[in-house]
Amino acid sequence: ASEAFATGRPTPGSVIADPPLLQDYQTIVPRPFSLNEWLEEHSGELSQPGARLSLFRDDHPEQGFRVVVLGAGAKEAADEEFPGGSEAFLYVRRGEVAVSGGDVGQKALNAGECFVLAEGKFSKFRRSRDCIALLLTSSSSSS
């Protein structure tokens, strides 16, 4: 057994003695919520053509990423642009999203499928009228 185990105290130079980060005791993490209930509560808004809703409010303590819920696609088939300033994750819960551009060529995503939009690659996507998808991006990129 180690000296730290035997004494119950960290030895000099150990990771525990010199933690790599300070624990945040000030930030209050929001209570968990049901995504299904949130989607149901916002179903009217999400059914509007071109709907995009932020899943978390702007005052959410985690500012490193954004989660946008994509609802119904536009009335007329139209491509939406993703500038590709940072990597993004796209998950389709319902309907279909067609992705094109970048290194992708063309890719159709159906319910239950996900895709990573590459950093620095301009992409386009088109949503079906019954679409519900989650687009996760870093806060530094626009979505």
pLDDT of residue 113: 97
Q: Rounded CA gap, 2 and 12, in Å?
A: 13
Q: 25-34, 40-49, 55-64, 66-75 — which is least confidently predicted?
A: 55-64
| pTM of full prediction above 0.85 | no
Nearby residues of 81 by Cβ (< 8 Å), 6 or more positions away: 122, 123, 124
Nearby residues of 7 by Cβ (< 8 Å), 6 or more positions away: none
Eight-state DSSP code of residue 119? T
Query: Is the backbone of residue 49 left (phi > 0), alpha (psi -120 to 50) or beta?
Result: beta
pLDDT digits (tens, 9 = 90+) for 91-130: 999 999 998 887 778 899 999 999 988 777 778 889 999 9
pLDDT at 141 over 50: no
Tell me, what amino acid is at 61?
A: P
Ordered by where they begin, the domains of the chain are 34-138 (2.60.120.10)
Q: Which residues pair with 97 in a beta bridge?
A: 109, 127
pLDDT at 143 over 60: no
pLDDT digits (tens, 9 = 90+) for 56-89: 877 777 777 889 999 998 876 667 777 667 788 9
pLDDT of residue 16: 66
129: Cα within 13 Å, side-chain hemisphere:
3
Instruction: Please give the helix or strand (H or E) that residue 39 lies within, else none.
Output: helix 35-41
